[in-house]
Structure 1
């Protein structure tokens, strides 16, 4: 009767993840209802667009790329940032320069991490939340994380079912009936995902519905021309929008550095 244990695990995986998704959706709806009403005429700055699209790290990336485009910061293909002009033109740039340090040179990865956690980015987040354009801290990642967990259950349930079918079963329990029992929690999980997609999609960790509408308007208008259009693309899409080979190499080396750091910490 080991297959019953596998069935219980399958129901637990589907039931718990679906319950968490439902609770997360309810909390997100409540937070949206109680959020301040956004001004429909608000025009997003590049920093605001970066935060609403990708959060604090996107703001740090945008600042680095913007300073590099203006030749005030050198981002080497080896993953190092070198200060050319030590005068920051705004709080974000001063945060980046402070993260690089008095020596004027540092790896990009720790600079990005420190700049993303700076007071200037925190103040930007608070302004956007107060304007009703960003999701409050308590509501971030809950729905998207819950959806990922339900998808994990969608994978786990068939695996448990296959494992149960490989075990010896009583003669009075046909295997097709056993498979049907495992199909029930799978249907529950898939149905929960379908409802969530209809009711709460797209899942945003940073932008509120009003913020997503402003981002959509910015994307339709293209963000201007020249450097402004390029930086708008970086703000909304991240460093993958960078076309210059040297800049792309610098950020790719950053990802390799972060991977090595995670391996060392693990």
Structure 2
């Protein structure tokens, strides 16, 4: 009966993580105030969608990609950006241009950080928060982390199941006893997978930035205009929607702390 200890560990992990997710989701699901601004999917611009889907970093990536597609920035696969047109068309573009050095060149990672930390992004976050579409960071982050903890609990259940099957003990060598053990481990596994399915249906797992209303608007926008490779798809899904490998490599530079070197250094 030593396998029962593994079963208890599996149940402990799934109960703690699912309770954490339930509490966080309940906190996030608090109804918005009556005077909250009502948005419709056609009123959600790309910067708003980018923030709700991926936060300040996604806004910065969208800004750089938009400028590159309008031939006002050159993004090299080496991780460097060059200014082609020094005139910004909105506050986010101006924050990117200001971050460039006097020679009009800078690592993409530095520009991305500057845009993500600019006051324009903070104003965007406040506007979305007042509209009831964005979370204030605390509840949303807790839901996001809780979903990740349920996923880890799922892996824990599978690991405990494998360990229980591998540990020899009296009466567990025949197929009937092994089937009984699997059936007992199936209960916490079903609970964990059920919580993940509900979280996916509610949209909680996609972003720690958007409220349930914001998540619904993102889904509507993605269905209507989320063609792969479009700016809308990048705003909602991230750099995975960029079809050009070189451009995607340029925008991803520096995410792991690496800083590209200019050619000839």
Normalized against structure 2, the TM-score is what?
0.78
Shift of the 150–72 alpha-carbon distance from structure 1 to 2, 3 Å rule, reads same
Q: Match of 1:238?
A: 238
Inter-partner Cα distance in structure 2 for 1:178 and 1:218: 46
Task: Name the count of aligned residue pairs.
Answer: 252
Inter-partner Cα distance in structure 1 for 2:54 and 2:140: 12
Paired residues of 1:141 and 1:204 also in contact (CA < 8 A): no
Q: Match of 2:135?
A: 135
Shift of the 172–166 alpha-carbon distance from structure 1 to 2, 3 Å rule, reads closer
Q: Match of 1:68?
A: 68
Q: Does 2:185 correspond to 1:182?
A: yes
Q: Does 2:250 correspond to 1:250?
A: no
Inter-partner Cα distance in structure 1 for 2:194 and 2:242: 39
Inter-partner Cα distance in structure 1 for 2:193 and 2:139: 24
Q: Match of 1:226?
A: none
Q: Match of 1:211?
A: 214
Spell out the pairing of 1:147-186 with structure 2 (5 A cutoff): 147-171=147-171, 174-186=177-189
Extract unaligned runs of 5+ from structure 2. Answer: 260-265
Q: Match of 2:37?
A: 38
Inter-partner Cα distance in structure 1 for 2:237 and 2:133: 18
Paired residues of 2:86 and 2:97 also in contact (CA < 8 A): yes
SS at match of 1:21: helix
Extract unaligned runs of 5+ from structure 1. Answer: 224-228
Paired residues of 2:242 and 2:248 also in contact (CA < 8 A): no
SS at match of 1:106: strand
Q: CA offset at residue 257 of structure 1?
A: 4.2
SS at match of 2:82: strand
What is the root-mean-square deviation of aligned Cα atoms in Å? 3.2
Normalized against structure 1, the TM-score is what?
0.78
- Of Structure 1 and Structure 2, the greater helix share is in 1
